[in-house]
Amino acid sequence: MQYTVPHYYKEFTCIAGECPDTCCAGWQIQIDPFSLKKYRKAKGPLGNRLKNEINWKEGCFRQYAGRCAFLNENDLCDLYLEGGGQRAFCRTCRTYPRHIEEFEGLREISLSLSCPAAADLILNCREPVRFLHAEDEKEEEPYEDFDFFLFTKLEDARSLILRILQDRAHPFRIRAAAALALSHDLQQRIDKNALCEADSLFDRYSSPGMWTW
C-alpha cells in the first residue's frame, strides 16, 4: 500500500478548548461498529454515561443544544479526559480533521479546511506544498470496476494544476483561471470518451505560451 500526505501534515495539533469553532458541535458524530461494541462493554461511571449518551439505534452520540453530550463547559471532551485519551475515541473523533481518499493500492491523506487549526496551518504555509510518500507491505483486493487509465490521467492533471497554481510569476487570478480552464477541457474529453487526447491537452497547458492566451 502506498500513502501520500502533504509536507505539513505532521505539524497539525488539535487546539482543543482553545478552538474558536469546536468540531464537537453542529453535526452528528457517527460511531463506527468496533467502537460501539467497545462502548457497550464499558464499565463504571463512564460506561453508564456512554450507555445513556449514545443513540444506539442511530449509532451516534446524543446532542444537547447542538453539542455532543461529552463536550463539557470548557469545550473539552469528557470521553478523552475520563477514558484515557485518544484510545477512548471512536474512528470519527480519532481521525478528524484528517481526511482519507481511498484508491486501489493508494491512500491519500489530507487535512480538512473545516478545522480552524488545520486551516490556519495550511493557509499560513508560505512554501509550495510538497507531497511525502511512504509504502508498506499491506495488500488489498483489487477494486471492482477501477479505471486505472482514468485514474492516472486525473493524477497527471492534478500535478499539472498544482504546478500552474504554484507558479507565482503570474497573478493568482490568472493561475486560477488556467486551472479551471484545464479542468473544463479535460472534463469535456472525459464526457466525449476521448481521454486519449489528454496528453496533448496537458502539453498545451504546460507550454510557456499558455500564459499569453
Domain positions in the chain are 24-95, 148-212
Q: How far apart are CA 56 and CA 130, in angstroms?
A: 42
81, pLDDT greater than 90: yes
Q: Which three cell numbers stand for residue 144?
A: 471492482
92-105 residue pLDDT tens: 999 999 999 999 88
- Please list, in sequence order, all residues whose beta carbon lies within 8 angstroms of the beta carbon of residue 189, skipping any fewer than 6 positions away: 195, 197, 198, 201
DSSP string, 37-66: HHHHH--HHHHHHHHHHEETTTTEE-EETT
- The DSSP secondary-structure symbol of 24 reads T
The per-residue pLDDT for 34 is: 98
Does residue 153 surpass a pLDDT of 80?
yes
Nearest to 169 by CA among 200, 119, 212, 129: 212
For the whole model, what pTM was predicted? 0.83
Per-residue pLDDT tens for 112-142? 999 999 999 999 998 999 999 999 988 878 8
